[in-house]
């Protein structure tokens, strides 16, 4: 019986909501078995370079999450509208459907994925389909199907057709035994969520396919990603997005993490630019296949204090969600991203004050801000 039939109506709705913490994309899941496809060890794989084609042809899975939509907009400006295809299993809003190519794609349907890659001459694949941390803990079987079985399909197809593959990882790939301040690229991980376990699995499988089959695998561990484009959708770091929506509505916010819970964060523009930069980086510059990236690190009380500088009557209260708090307490407090900065020139633009100002304006609290001033 399909897994989706066994889910409650509320759970289905949660899974069909675009995320805004680290990333998310709803996936229609069927209980199918995974049988690894044969990949010959002596095959010669390579990604199409700019010397072989004017531009890459990009497929983005899980494209209706806020990261997919934002990345598609950036890549279309750079490579041309028709060279970037968004895909998902949900019906896109009209403005997204008419903004550029969109195609239905279920990452658990191996044949469908292969047809898309072949028929559209895909050379880059950006794999954003995943269930986030809190949602994954409530639906472990579903998270296994989406985050692990789906990844296997992506890896096999990328290897067969010589694609350049990007799979994002996360601060959730670390665990309570990892160094937390700062957390280096290489250390003990041992996450305690299915989301984190699946991301460690993705990192290691990607590196294995790179060394075993020559797959051009690239991965960034995203911190919490903050964006004004969509509503929070199940991530532990989503409080840092929800706070701005609540400020816009009523000037108050109830936080589900403790005041001093420090986590690494990044504004979406920096995140998308880092993704493009690592995809364009020459292979010889990449000493690693998985890199930390970071921009800032703050706690709910520090974020609230920065908001109050611009909206003095803002009030924050705390109602701790113990599941999310336990997850946050096992995650890094600060990322060491020195390797990304040294190897391929990563550099963030948004710090905390600039982040707060930008979010207040984009979400619509600029009128409240003007009134306060």
Q: What is the pLDDT of residues 143-195, one digit of tens each?
A: 999 999 999 999 999 999 999 999 999 999 999 999 999 999 999 999 998 99
Instruction: Determine the pLDDT at residue 370.
Output: 44
Residues of the chain with pLDDT under 50: 1-52, 365-367, 369-373
What is the spatial distance between Cα 286 and Cα 278, in angstroms, rounded to a whole number? Answer: 9
DSSP state of 64: T
Phi, psi angle pair for 100, to nearest 5°: 170, 180
Instruction: Determine the pLDDT at residue 313.
Output: 94
Instruction: Determine the pLDDT at residue 66.
Output: 77
Catalytic residue among 128, 195, 213, 350: 195
Burial classification of residue 43, based on how many CB atoms lie within 10 Å of its CB (0-12 exposed, 13-18 middle, 19 or more buried):
exposed
Give the H/E segment covering residue 124: strand 124-127
What is the spatial distance between Cα 218 and Cα 235, in angstroms, rounded to a whole number? Answer: 23
Instruction: Determine the pLDDT at residue 74.
Output: 97
Question: Of 210, 213, 222, 259, nearest to 239 (Cα)?
Answer: 259
User: The tokens 């703050």 sit on which residue?
Assistant: 298
Tokens of 27: 């996936």
Burial classification of residue 130, based on how many CB atoms lie within 10 Å of its CB (0-12 exposed, 13-18 middle, 19 or more buried):
buried
Instruction: Determine the pLDDT at residue 372.
Output: 44
| DSSP-derived 3-state class of residue 56 | coil
- Centroid of chain to Cα 79: 21
What is the spatial distance between Cα 204 and Cα 58, in angstroms, rounded to a whole number? Answer: 23
> What CA–CA distances, in Å, run from 41 to 189, 207, 210, 219?
29, 15, 11, 23
Report pTM: 0.82
Active site residue 195: yes
Q: What is the pLDDT of residues 331-360, one digit of tens each?
A: 999 999 999 999 999 999 999 999 999 999
């Amino acid at each position: 019986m399909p897994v989706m039939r066994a889910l409650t109506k509320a759970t289905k709705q949660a899974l069909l909501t675009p995320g805004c913490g680290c990333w998310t994309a709803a996936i229609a899941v069927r209980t199918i078995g995974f049988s690894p496809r044969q990949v010959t060890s002596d095959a010669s794989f390579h990604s199409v370079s700019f010397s072989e084609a004017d531009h890459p042809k990009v497929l983005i899975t899980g494209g209706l999450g806020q990261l997919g939509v934002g990345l598609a907009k950036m890549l279309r400006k750079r490579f041309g509208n028709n060279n970037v295809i968004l895909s998902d299993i949900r019906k896109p809003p009209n403005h997204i459907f008419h903004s550029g190519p969109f195609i239905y794609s279920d990452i658990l349907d191996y044949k469908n994925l292969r047809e898309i890659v072949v028929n559209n001459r895909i050379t880059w694949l950006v794999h954003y389909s995943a269930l986030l941390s809190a949602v994954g803990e409530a639906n472990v079987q579903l998270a296994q199907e989406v985050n692990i079985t789906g990844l296997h399909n992506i890896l096999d197809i990328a290897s067969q057709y010589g694609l350049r593959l990007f799979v994002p990882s996360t601060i959730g790939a670390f665990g309570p035994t990892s160094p937390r301040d700062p957390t280096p690229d290489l250390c003990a991980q041992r996450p305690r969520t299915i989301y984190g376990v699946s991301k460690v699995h993705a990192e290691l499988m990607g590196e294995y396919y790179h060394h075993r089959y020559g797959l051009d695998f690239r991965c960034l561990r995203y911190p919490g990603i903050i964006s004004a484009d969509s509503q929070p959708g199940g991530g532990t770091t989503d409080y840092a997005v929800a706070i701005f929506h609540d400020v816009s509505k009523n000037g108050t916010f109830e936080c589900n993490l403790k005041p001093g819970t420090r986590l690494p964060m990044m504004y979406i523009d920096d995140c998308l630019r880092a993704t493009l930069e690592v995809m364009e980086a020459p292979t010889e510059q990449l000493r690693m296949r998985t890199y930390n990236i970071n921009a800032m690190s703050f706690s709910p009380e520090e974020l609230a204090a920065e908001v109050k500088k611009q909206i003095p009557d803002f009030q924050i209260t705390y109602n701790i969600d113990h599941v999310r708090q336990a997850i946050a307490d096992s995650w890094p407090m600060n990322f060491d991203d020195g390797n990304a900065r040294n190897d391929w020139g990563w550099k963030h633009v948004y710090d905390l004050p600039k982040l707060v100002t930008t979010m207040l304006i984009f979400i619509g609290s600029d009128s409240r801000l003007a009134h306060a001033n």
